[in-house]
Structure 1
Amino acid sequence: MASPIKNPFLDFDPSKFFDPSKFFDASRFTDMQKGFADFQKGFADFQKGFSDVKLLSPDFEGLLATQRRNVEAVVAANQLAVEGYQTVARRQAEILRQSFEEASVLMKELVSAGTPEDKVAKQAELVKGSFEKAIANMKELSELVAKSNTEAAEVLSKRVKESIEELQTTLSKLTTKGT
Structure 2
Amino acid sequence: MAEQTNPFGDLAKVLEQFKVPGVDMSALVESRKKDIEAIVEANKSAYDAMQAFARKQTEMLTQAMQDIQAAAQVGATDPGKHAEVARNACLKAVEDIKDLAEIARKSQVEAMASLTKRANEHAAEIQQMLQRK
1:157 to 112, 116, 119: 116
In structure 2, the partner of 1:101 is 66
1:78 to 43, 59, 64: 43
Give how far 1:57 is off.
Answer: 2.4
Q: Please give the per-residue CA displacement for 1:67-95, whole angstroms capped at 9, x wherever unaligned.
A: 00000100110011101110110111011
Matched letter for residue 61 of structure 1 = S
Question: Aligned-residue CA RMSD in angstroms?
Answer: 1.2
**Higher Rg:** 1
Structure 1 segments, 4+ long, off by >6 Å, are none
Which secondary structure does the structure 2 equivalent of 1:58 belong to?
Answer: coil
Give how far 1:103 is off.
Answer: 1.1
Q: State the percentage of identical aligned residues.
A: 30
Distance 1:138 1:64 in 2: 44
TM-score of the aligned structures, taking structure 1 as reference length: 0.61
Matched letter for residue 95 of structure 2 = A
Greater relative contact order (CA < 8 Å, ≥ 6 in sequence): 2
Structure 2 unaligned residues grouped into runs of 5+: 1-19
Give how far 1:56 is off.
Answer: 4.0
2:97 to 125, 138, 142: 138
Structure 1 unaligned residues grouped into runs of 5+: 1-54, 114-118, 175-179
5 Å-filtered alignment, 1:13-92, equals: 56-92=21-57
Q: Please give the per-residue CA displacement for 1:5-26, whole angstroms capped at 9, x wherever unaligned.
A: xxxxxxxxxxxxxxxxxxxxxx
Distance 2:54 2:112 in 1: 20
Which secondary structure does the structure 1 equivalent of 2:23 belong to?
Answer: coil
* Residue correspondences, number: 114
Distance 2:117 2:48 in 1: 19
